[in-house]
Amino acid sequence: MKKQNTFIIIVLLKVATIVRVLLSLRYKISVKGSEILKKSSPLFILPNHQALIDPFIIMSQTFRYTKAIPVVSSTFYDIPLLKSIFLGLGAVRVSNLEAGSRNTNVLNEITRSVLKGFGRGKSVVLYPSGQLAVQGYEKIFNKKSAHKIVSKIPDDVKVIGVRITGLWGSMWSKARTGQTPNLFVQILKGFFYILANLIFFLPRRTITIEIEDLTLKAKTNAQMGIKPFNLFLEDYYNFHGEENPNFLRHFFIPLNKKANSSE
């Protein structure tokens, strides 16, 4: 884990503000439990993963309270435009096993880097599922990284659950095609929709972020093994039940059925 660059952090604070403003044009975001992020101890933040856009939403919101280090797949970390940002932030780069990487040491790589970050007093964001949801609820299956880290976590580190809802059915999710959307294509589409709706008239999607201190329950379930721990996380993420896809229209003026049901 590389040291955070102070200049990059200052820049990212400004960028996070700009991102929140841009996101507010499309999303009506409600955050519950943000006071938990103000704890002085390091945090191990575990969100669910509904859509490609949720890291931007979560990081832009949580960055106001904690300069958490994200664990980032090599697929995104190695993009030249983003790599310098991730380096400055001190992000943890991990191999993309979903894309077929044969790096069998990735679990030890993640654990070692995250625990080193905790030793330096840093907070860390990790997605336990390691991939986008393929249905209206979270499944972690037999993923091991979150369990292994919580099993070894220092006493002063808090385990924080982050449950985001409202994105299933968006153009950033797998709801429509079952495939992972192209990040940059969707970003370009997003800017087009903003301009096409005269900036301020884009229909807004309601997003809820719920933050909870899971430290005691997470540590207890981690002692019981991988399966009980992952089921515990799934129960937390799926507390509200399976989410139906919401294909919210992109234009404030109805154009045609296809255009208005594309997200």
pLDDT tens sequence across 196-222? 999 999 999 999 999 999 999 999 999
Q: What is the separation of C-alpha 94 from the centre of its chain, rounded to a whole number of angstroms? A: 15
Please give the biggest Cα pair distance in the chain.
Answer: 56
Task: Name the token pair of 62.
Answer: 């949580």
How confident is residue 261, by pLDDT bands cut at 50, 70 and 90?
A: very low
Query: What percent of the chain stands above pLDDT 70?
Result: 91
Q: How far, in Å, CA of 25 to CA of 33, rounded?
A: 23
Residue of 42, 47, 18, 3 whose CA lies nearest to 211? 47
How confident is residue 100, by pLDDT bands cut at 50, 70 and 90?
A: very low
Q: How far, in Å, CA of 219 to CA of 214, rounded?
A: 8
- Supply the DSSP symbol for 67: -
Using CA atoms, how far residue 101 sits from 75, 96, 105, 121, 145, in Å, is 11, 6, 11, 31, 16
How confident is residue 182, by pLDDT bands cut at 50, 70 and 90?
A: very high
What's the average model confidence in pLDDT over 152-167? 97
Residue of 174, 177, 92, 108 whose CA lies nearest to 137? 174
Task: Name the token pair of 114.
Answer: 């995250």
How are beta strands 43-47 and 69-73 bridged, if at all?
Answer: unpaired
Residue of 43, 99, 50 whose CA lies nearest to 68? 43
Q: How far, in Å, CA of 34 to CA of 61, rounded?
A: 9
How confident is residue 97, by pLDDT bands cut at 50, 70 and 90?
A: low
How confident is residue 1, by pLDDT bands cut at 50, 70 and 90?
A: low
- The pLDDT of residue 195 is above 50: yes
pLDDT of amino acid 74:
82
Q: Residue 171 CB: number of other CB atoms within 10 A? A: 22
